[in-house]
Chains A and B, each alone.
Chain A
Amino acid sequence: MLKYLSEHKVLALFISTLLLSSASLLQAQHLTGKVVDKANPSQPLVGANVIWLQTDKGTATDASGKFTLSLSDAAKPVVLVTYVGYTPDTISVAGRSDITVALEAAKGMTEVVIEGEKERHSALTPTQTQFITTSDLEKSACCNLAESFETNAAVEVSTTDAVSGAKQIQMLGLDGSYTLLTTDNIPALRGLATPYRLNYLSGTFIESIDIIKGMGSVLNGYESISGQVNVTLRDPEKAQRLYMNLYGNSLGRYDANLNLAGSLNKKWSTILMLHTDQLQHRSDRNHDGFMDLATGSQYNVYNKWKYVSGDWVAEFGLTALQEQKVGGQLDFDENTPKEEQPHYGIKSDVDRLAGHTKTSYTFAGKPYQSIGLITSATHHKFTSQYGLRDYDGEQNSANARLIFQSIIGDTRHTYKTGLSYTFEDYSENLNDSLFNRREIVPGVFGEYIYSNTHNLTVVAGARLDFHNLYGTQFTPRLNVKYDISPRSILRFATGTGFRVSNIIAENTATLVSSRRFVVEEDLEAEKAWNIGGSFTHYFEVAGRPGTFVTDFYHTSFINQVVADMYTMPGSVLFYNLGGRSYANSFQAELQYEVLRGLTAKAAYKYYDVKTSYKDKLWQKPMIPEHRFFVNIGFATPFEKWRADLTTQFFGLMPLATMQEDHNQPLEHKANSDRFATVNTQVTRAFKRWEVYLGAENLLNYRQPNPIYGANEPFNAGFDASMVWGPVTGRVLYAGLRFKLD
C-alpha cells in the first residue's frame, strides 16, 4: 500500500514537471523589464545590475533602463536588482515576462563594516588594493601601525637604525616617504613626522587598512609615488561601545588601550580612543654597550564625532600625542648636559596636535551626486639630540579640499572634480644650520571614471598644482581594470607623483652615525613616473577558495634627491639626481585554504632598485633582491582558537659602510647575511574576552654587530645606521582584549 502510494506520487510529480516545463516552453524564453527611480518613475536607471537570484547570470540595464534576461538561466523565478546609491530589491517574476522595477534611493552614505569576510585582494577596486582587516590586525603583536603589516606581503617594515628603533615601511622597493599615508583618506603624518610615524597610530585605533600598489587617485594629492596606505579609523557609529587592550612583552614594554564609543542620539555619535605605551627597562642582549631598543613613553588620544542627518554627513576629529624617547649607551643619563656627557645617547620629545573635518551633502533624489569639504590642520613640534648633534623642528600645516561628484548622462560615466589648498610651514635646526620652508600650493583636479558595469573600469585623472617654490606641477594618472572573467582580473596603472623631500627627517638614521650631512647644491623637488600592472585570479580547488596575484611595477625618477653614502665614506651627500634612478618590483603571491580553517599564503618578491651615485649606477643600500614570505593561519570553527605563523626570508642586501675604500667595485662591497625571521601568535576568544600569546623573532636571529664602532661612539668609525636585521632577539608577549558591542 505504502509502496503503491509513493509510486503514484512519483508519477504525479513527473507528469506535473512535464506539464510545467512544456507550459514554460510555450511562454516567452526571455524576461524583459525596466528599472526606474521610485521617487521619479520617469527616470530610468542606466547600468543597474539585474541578476537571477542565487546565480551569477545577469545583465545590466541599457541607456533607457531596459534589460532582457534568458529564462533558462534562472535558478528560481526571482531577480535581484542592484544599483549604486539605491537599496537593492528582489522581485518575484513567476508567470511574468515583462516587469518594471522601481528602486528606492538609499539613505545616507553606504559604508561597510569589514570584519574578516572581505576578500584580501579586492575584485572591485580599479587599483590593485589589498585589505588588512581587524581580524588580520589582531593576528600580530599589537600595538601600532608598524606591526599591522606583519602578516601582509605587500609592505615591508624595516628598522631604520640600531639606536632609536624607529620603523619604516617600504613599498615597491622604495622608501616609505614615497608612499602616501592617509587616515580616512586624509593625508596624515607627513613631513617631519615621517621618521617615527608608524608609532603614532595605535593598532587599536584602526578598523582596516587598504594598501594600494602603484599609482592611485589624484584626489588625495600629488605626493604618492609608489603607492598609498589608507588607514580607516574606527567609526563612531559602528565601533564597539568598549574595547580594551592590555599588552606586555619580555623586553618590559607595556601598552594599554581603551576605546569608548556611543551614539548620543539618532544624529550624533562619538568615539574616544586612548593609547599609551611604556618601556622603561634598558636591555642590551648583544652586549655592545648600547640599548637594543630606545626606552620611552607615549600618550595618544583620538576623539572623533560623526553627524548624520538626511543627506548630510559630517565628521570632526581631534588627536593629540606626546612622546619621549631615550636611547643609546646603557649608562647614558638624559639629564646630564650634552657638554659633560661621557656617554652616547639619543633623546627626543615630540608634541603633536592634529584635527580634521569632513562634510558631505548628497543631493536629494540624486544619490550619485554629492559635494564634500575636507579640511585638516596639524601642529608637530619636536626637540631631539643624537649624540653631539641637536635636531629640532616644527611643522604647521593646513589643508582644504572641495570635491564635487556627479555623473555624465548615466552612472556609467562619473566624475569627481575639485579644488585644493595646502599650506606648509617647516622650520628645522640641525646643529645651528637652519632649514626653513614655507609652501603654499593651491590646486585643481579632476577624475573621470568610466565603467561599463560589466567588466571594464577606466579611471583617468589629472591635477594641476601651483607651487610657490617649485612652480606649476601637472600630475596625470590612469587606472584601468579589465575582468577577463569574474575570476580573472587585469589591472594597469600609470602616472606621475611629485613631492618635496625633507632630507634630515627622512634620514634620521644617518644622524645616529658620525657621518656629516653635506648638501652639495640647491635641492629640487622629486618627481617620478610609475607604471605597472597586476593579474589577480580567484580559484577553487577541492571546494576551498584560493587567490593568485602577480604584479610588476617600474618607477623611474625624473628628479630625486639622492642620499649618497657610497661616494664619500664619513659623509652623506645630498644632490639632485644626475643620471638614472629606478626601481623594478615583481611579486607573486598565492593564497589558499589548504584545509578547512587552515589558510596558507606564500609570496616571492624581487627588487631591482638602482640609483646613479655621482657617475656610478649602484644598487640602493639595504634593499634585498630576493625575499620570501610565508604565512599560515589556523582557526577552529567560529574562531574560538586562532593561531598564526609568519616567516620571512631575506636575501643579501648591499651595505654602505664607512670602513670601505670607495673605489672598490660594487661586487666587493659589504653585504648583509641571509636570514629568516619567524613570528607567531595564538589567540583564544571568548564571548567578550580574548587572550593572546605570541613570539616575535622566534628563531632569535640577531644581526651581528649592528653598530659599527660601538666602543667609540664619538669617533669617526661610529655608525648605527647600517641595520639590515633584527637588533633585539626573541621577544615573547601576552595580552588580552575586552570588547563590549
Chain B
Amino acid sequence: MKKLQTLLLSFILTFIAIGAQAQAKKETTQTVEIKTSAVCGMCKKTLEKAMAYEKGVKSSSLNVESKVLTVVFDSRKTDAANIRSAVNKTGYDADKQPADARAYNRLDECCKKEAGSH
C-alpha cells in the first residue's frame, strides 16, 4: 500500500512538473499559423529563409499545398503581428494583410499569385 502511495505521489509530482514546464514554455514559445499567398517550392525557400532572419523566430515551415506558414517564436521578442508584416515584406499576403507591392514585384515570376499553385 505504501508502495502504491509512493508511486502515486511520484506520478502526481511528475505531472505537476511537466505541467509547470509546459506552462513556463507556453509563456514564451508560441506558434502562429498564417495563411499566405505562396504558390510553389521556391516560395517555401524564400519565406522560410526570410523568417530565419526575423528576430525572435525559432523555426518556420510552409505547407505549400495548404499555403499555411507555421512559425514558432519567442513571445518575449516578437509577436504574430510582427511576423505577419514580415511575411508581407517578403512579398506574400498574410491572412488578410496584403503583400507589400514592391516586395511582391521583386518575386520571381513563378512565385507570383498569378502563376497559380504548382
Contact = CB atoms under 8 A, between A and B. Distances in A.
Looking at chain A's contact residues, the main secondary structure is: loop
B75 to A, nearest CB: 19
A741 interface: yes
Interface stretch (B20-28, B29-37, B51-59): B51-59
Given A88-B115, A88-B118, A637 B105 contact: no
Given A88-B118, A90-B116, A687-B54, A741 B49 contact: no
B53 A53 contact: no
A615 interface: no
Contacts of B67: none
B52 A638 contact: yes
A238 B112 CA distance: 14
B76 interface: no
Contacts of A741: 89, 102-103, 106
B43 to A, nearest CB: 11
Contacts of B77: none
A89 interface: yes
Given A638-B49, A687-B54, A90 B105 contact: no
Interface residues of A, number: 25
B109 A112 contact: yes
B114 A90 contact: no
Contacts of A640: 52-53
Interface string A102-121: 00001000111100010000
Nearest to B89: A741
Contact of A687 (B55, B102, B103): B55
B88 to A, nearest CB: 11
A87 interface: yes
A117 B42 contact: yes
A472 to B, nearest CB: 42
Interface in B78-118: 89, 101-103, 105-109, 114-118
Looking at chain B's contact residues, the main secondary structure is: helix
A113 B112 CA distance: 12
Given A117-B45, A640-B52, A687-B54, A53 B108 contact: no
Contacts of A686: 53
B48 interface: yes
Interface string A262-292: 0100000000000000000000000000000
B108 A112 contact: yes
B106 to A, nearest CB: 5
A639 interface: yes
A140 B52 CA distance: 24
Given A117-B45, A638-B49, A639-B49, A87 B102 contact: no
A110 B111 CA distance: 13
Interface string A73-91: 0000000100000011110
Contacts of A106: 114
Contact of A113 (B45, B49, B107): B107
B106 A113 contact: yes
A18 B101 CA distance: 49
B105 A238 contact: yes
Contacts of A237: 102, 105
Given A90-B118, A637-B52, A117 B108 contact: yes
A237 B107 CA distance: 11
B118 A687 contact: no
Contact of B117 (A90, A241, A263): A90
Nearest to B86: A687
Contact of B114 (A87, A117, A637): A87
A638 B61 CA distance: 13
Contacts of B89: 741
B53 A638 contact: yes
Contacts of B53: 638, 640, 685-687
Contacts of A53: 118
A686 B53 CA distance: 6
Contact of A80 (B42, B49, B52, B118): B118
A238 B106 contact: yes
A88 B53 CA distance: 31
A238 B103 CA distance: 8
A593 to B, nearest CB: 15
Contacts of B101: 263
A688 to B, nearest CB: 8
Interface in A57-107: 80, 87-90, 106
Nearest to B45: A117
A53 B64 CA distance: 13
B77 to A, nearest CB: 13
- Which among A241, A637, A638 has the greatest number of chain B C-beta atoms within 10 A? A638
Contacts of A687: 53-55
Contacts of B49: 638-639
17 contacts: A54-B118, A88-B114, A88-B115, A88-B118, A111-B109, A112-B109, A113-B108, A117-B42, A117-B45, A237-B102, A238-B105, A637-B52, A638-B49, A639-B49, A685-B53, A686-B53, A741-B106
Interface of B: 42, 45, 48-49, 52-55, 89, 101-103, 105-109, 114-118
Given A113-B106, A263-B102, A741-B106, 5 more contacts: A80-B116, A112-B109, A113-B107, A117-B42, A117-B45
- Across chains A and B, which 9 residue pairs bring their CB atoms closest together, nearest first? A638-B52, A687-B53, A90-B116, A238-B106, A87-B114, A638-B49, A80-B118, A113-B106, A88-B115
Interface of A: 53-54, 80, 87-90, 106, 110-113, 117, 237-238, 241, 263, 637-640, 685-687, 741
